[in-house]
Amino acid sequence: MKPESHVVSLTVPAEAEFIDLVRLTLYGISSKLGFSYEEIEDMKVAVAEACNNAVVHAYEPGSPGVMEVRIERIEDGLRIVVKDQGPSFDYAEKARRAGSLHDKSLNDINVGGLGIYLMQALMDDVEVKTGTGTEVILTKRVCRSEEMV
């Protein structure tokens, strides 16, 4: 079991103005762990996208909801979990229907359908769990340069 001192948990309202708080917290933690500027920026974009999905899709307009965000130090990097308690969806079916974007033009791609692809491009691992709410698990491993070894 990992010591809780390696986990930072935030519970914030599922509202757009609180995404910056999550991004700032992530920045502070990741910069102390030796991530490069580019890696930190990639993580900030990915976590903002996961949070934005909770803000936009998890709760009915006007209904209060929360996002639970856990930033966990792992052996070779960080794991960031964004969880909401909104109605869930069939992620596997949605991903299957979305298919590959490689042979599509920009005109064929729906706005709002790129979030998972963006997170997958920026992170080392992305997992989506559905059931009671939606949980997005983002993993980024720190890449040490020769100078840092």
Tell which wins on pLDDT, 107 or 131. 131
Strands 77-84 and 66-74 come out as antiparallel
**Contact between 52 and 20 (Cβ < 8 Å):** no
For 31-69, the pLDDT digits (tens) are 999 999 999 999 999 999 999 999 998 998 888 899 999
Q: Is residue 149, in this structure, part of any structural domain at all? A: no
Q: Is residue 47, in this structure, part of any structural domain at all? A: yes
Q: Is residue 62, in this structure, part of any structural domain at all? A: yes
> Residue 137's domain is classified under what CATH number?
3.30.565.10
Q: Domain range for residue 131?
A: 4-142
**Domains held by the chain: number:** 1
Q: Is residue 114, in this structure, part of any structural domain at all? A: yes
Q: Is residue 131, in this structure, part of any structural domain at all? A: yes
Between CA 3 and CA 26 the distance in angstroms is: 19
**Average pLDDT of span 11-15:** 96
For 63-116, the pLDDT digits (tens) are 889 999 999 999 999 999 999 998 866 555 555 544 555 555 555 555 456 788
Q: Is residue 20, in this structure, part of any structural domain at all? A: yes
Backbone torsions φ then ψ of 100, nearest 5 degrees:
-85, 150
At residue 25, does pLDDT exceed 80?
A: yes
Distance of CA 92 to the CA centre of its chain: 18
Q: Is residue 147, in this structure, part of any structural domain at all? A: no
**Contact between 44 and 50 (Cβ < 8 Å):** no
Q: Residue 148 has what pLDDT? A: 42
At residue 11, does pLDDT exceed 80?
A: yes
Between CA 120 and CA 137 the distance in angstroms is: 11
Q: Is residue 148, in this structure, part of any structural domain at all? A: no
